[in-house]
Structure 1
Amino acid sequence: MDRSILMDKVNAQLSEQLVGKRLIENVYNKNGLLIMKSQTILNRIHVQNFLAHRIDTAELNIETIGPFGKPSSLQLSQEMDEAVAVVRDVFNEVLNSKKLPLTEIRKSVIPLILKTVEQENVFEVFAALQEKDDYLYRHSIAVGTISALIGRQLGYNEIDLLQLTMAAVLHDIGKLYIAPELLSKPDKLTTAEFEIMKRHTILGYELVKKTIGTSSRQALVVLQHHERVDGTGYPLGLIGDQIDHFSRIVAVADVFHAMTSRREYRNPFPFYEVLMQMEQNAFGILDPTIIRILINKIMQTMIGFEVILTDGRQGTIVLINPYDGTHPLIHIDDNFEDLSKNNSLQIQQILL
């Protein structure tokens, strides 16, 4: 085989294995020269650099990260950690006292979410919340943020936005009553286990409904957030307009964040696959209008962001196609790549 063809094949294989991963340790060549720093998110140029320096890539200490890269705002990351701690304390109080104290969530978590949405800083939030453990608490805040973003795009007034955001933060609270080993089980749930898992909607509904200071609509969101508009959801198998509009928003937000998050049993999906699977109803038929609002807003927010493509190249989003929002125009070096005209190329990761 021609040497250049062989090198292209090796390069392609390494790109597939390494692009989008993050270095945990510095990388040095055989002479002890630092060629790449810890925390670098790898792209195709980095892979070529490894080959040029004859670095044994099998020895690299790397980790898989989510589709939003690493948060660049230390302040926001710290604020999110504090919000997660509040949610954790509130949820722990539920387990200890069987009561749901809402004051701290209202005082610190909800204002932070709404401020973030107002500043359109959602990617930083996603990055901060995908970085660490405590999935249930981080997921609650992320779903609250995404739901608030959608509500704002729909023109909700302040009262409805506050009510929606609180409902979204509480949507999975019933999982406190589900065994942790079931929540993190790496294999597919058995029929009996899935029946137990489905009860988190009812258990959460009962808790929120009897809590002073919550509304019946917020309790309804907790009950309905796994319903699907074609009747394939649970616990009641509701159809279309039988599902509250808040619940349909939270269902979309729930699926989006779950797919972009690392779990004990799987790595996060690449960004393009999240969008594709949501559009193709891979997780049941969600409200298509709400999906479109979320995707359009996310893509518009991405103008000016650097991204890594599925072929390992790195570029900047410069234009969103109004007829095909998930396939923007990318500026790469001195050229432009129109993803709407190249179905084989997608956005792998967003760099912050």
Structure 2
Amino acid sequence: MRLVNLKNVMAGMTLAKGIYSCEGKVLLAEGVTLTGSYIDRLKEMSIHEVYIEDAISKDIQIRDIINDQTRIAAKTTIYQVVRDLKLKKSFDMYLVNETINRIVDDLLSNKNIIINLTDLRSADEYTFSHSVNVAVISIVIGKTLGYNQLKLRDLGIGALLHDIGKTEIPLSILNKPGKLESDEIEIMRKHTVYGYEILKQYPNISILSRGISLMHHERIDGTGYPYGKKGDEIHEFAKIVAIADTYDAMTSNRIYKKKVAPEKAIEYLISTGNYNYDYNIVKLFLNHVTIYPVGTIVRLNTKQKGIVMDNNQYSPTRPIVRILKDQNIDDNCEFEEIDLQKNLTVFIEETCDE
């Protein structure tokens, strides 16, 4: 399978990965042949990319680091939490605990973790998918730091609920397509305090988990909010979630901003390490994130285009790439596979849509 921008998707292509709503309902099932009406509906839902299966991408397997059913259930959980809070009801803490337990179990059973997030989301459902991704990335970092299972659970709960205070922010600000005014920025920043106050009402949520909602926008150099804390004044949980939050936000399409390629987000985290983020944690994160995810289309310095089919764990900039020998993608198309780790004169110049 390969990841294709929706503007390049044509009727007759085969969907390689199912698309689900935030409520866990199947919108389009894996294996469906896409029609013009299906493609139009995906555009209406603000879904920008889909995974397709064709001759050039056959046998390329894109595996998420958590089970697909775990991801679907987690997104449904955070959807229900947000829904209940907006209705001024208490959310189901048992459901949150079960969700985090499933994510932790999936990640602890995965020995060679490379973050290759495969969730297909609409811009309107950003909050739910983002919360799950931040929890997954944070737990990966916590595992790398040697956290035990209990500590991973506390970190995961706080990460999953890190933006819960946004339920108190007006939708006119949350979903504003343009730049926020200064007064709107101040209102938005209050989501950290709101989140902490909400989670204080749940005695089963540890103070460290609650602190994530309050401090995940604090920065090492004191330029963050709400209190401008610096360095060791910021708890390690919040430092971890700050990195996960930034990476997933940058690599996600949102109502007001298009995503950037993973390599650009990684470059940003490296360049701001020890200013905005804890650079030691950034380095640990970089050991477990792929610069060029499997299924991504790339352009090489040879001017050829290809699909990333596998990653080299110790050479993240030099994956194995499948290159089409001619321009026709059909059952008889020919391709070659190049391991960039073994072909040092060939390198990736950029990622591209098609």
Report the TM-score, using the length of structure 2 for normalisation: 0.72
Seen in structure 2, the aligned counterparts of structure 1 residues 289 and 244 have a Cα distance that, compared at 3 Å, is: same
Counterpart check, 1:117 vs 2:117: no
CA drift at 1:246: 0.3
Identity of counterpart residues, as a percentage? 27
Q: For the structure 1 residues 69 and 262, does the alpha-carbon distance in structure 2 shift closer, same or farther, using more than 3 Å as the test?
A: farther
Report the AA paired with residue 289 of structure 1. N
Larger radius of gyration: 1
Corresponding position of 1:21: 5
Task: For residue 98 of structure 1, report the CA deviation from its aligned partner.
Answer: 5.2
Q: Does 1:175 align with 2:159?
A: no
Tell me by how many angstroms 1:89 deviates: 1.6
In structure 2, the residue matched to 1:345 is 349
Change (3 A) 1:266 1:40: farther
Which protein is richer in helix relative to its size? 1
After TM superposition, the structure 1 stretch with the greater mean CA deviation from structure 2, 142-151 or 262-271, is 262-271
CA offsets 1:264-301 (integer angstroms, 9 cap, x no match)? 12222112212112222299611111111111112399
Amino acid of the structure 2 residue aligned with 1:345: E
**1:309 aligned to 2:290?**
no
Aligned mate of 2:194, from 200, 203, 208: 203
What do residues 4-30 of structure 1 show as CA deviations (whole Å, max 9, x unaligned)? xxxxxxxxxxxxxxx952444326xxx
Deviation at 1:261, TM superposition (A): 1.3
Aligned pair 1:228/2:235, yes or no? no
| Paired amino acid for 2:297 | I
User: What CA distance in whole angstroms lies between the structure 1 residues aligned with 2:344 and 2:158?
Assistant: 37
CA apart distance, 1:207: 1.3
Once the two structures are TM-superposed, the CA of residue 341 in structure 1 deviates from its matched residue by 7.0
1:213 lines up with 2:204 in the alignment:
yes
| Residues 1:149 and 1:334: Cα distance change in structure 2 (over 3 Å) | closer
Check 1:122–1:141 CA distance in 2 against 1; reply closer, same or farther (3 A cut): farther
Q: Which residue of 1 aligns with 2:281?
A: 290
Query: Could you tell me how far apart the structure 1 residues matched to 2:16 and 2:150 are?
Result: 43
Q: Which of 261, 265, 276 lines up with 1:270 in the alignment? A: 261
Answer whether contact 1:100 1:208 (CA < 8 A) is retained: no
CA RMSD of aligned residues (A): 3.7
Q: 2:144 aligns to what?
A: 153
With over 3 angstroms needed to count, the CA separation of the structure-2 counterparts of 1:340 and 1:235, relative to structure 1, is farther
CA contact (8 A) 2:75 2:129 kept: yes
Change (3 A) 1:67 1:99: same
Code of the aligned partner of 1:216: I
The alignment status of 1:319 with 2:298, answered yes or no, reads no
Aligned to 2:190, the other structure's residue is in SS state helix
Residue identity matched to 1:337: L
Q: Deviations over 1:183-241 (max 9, x none)?
A: 12121111111000000000111111232211111121110000110111111111111
Q: Count the aligned residue pairs.
A: 298
Residue number in structure 1 paired with 2:119: 128
Distance 1:79 1:25, change over 3 A: farther
Following superposition, the deviation at residue 337 of structure 1 comes to: 3.4
CA contact (8 A) 1:67 1:270 kept: no
* Gaps in structure 1 of 5+ consecutive residues: 1-18, 28-36, 42-59
User: Is the CA contact 1:140–1:170 (under 8 Å) kept in the aligned structure 2?
Assistant: yes
Q: Secondary structure at the match of 1:327?
A: coil
The 1-side partners of 2:319 and 2:76 are apart by 40
Shift of 1:340: 8.2
What is the CA–CA distance in structure 1 between the aligned matches of 2:225 and 2:89, rounded to whole Å?
Answer: 25
CA distance in structure 2 between the partners assigned to 1:154 and 1:68 by the alignment: 34
**Partners in 2 of 1:336 and 1:72 — Cα distance?**
18
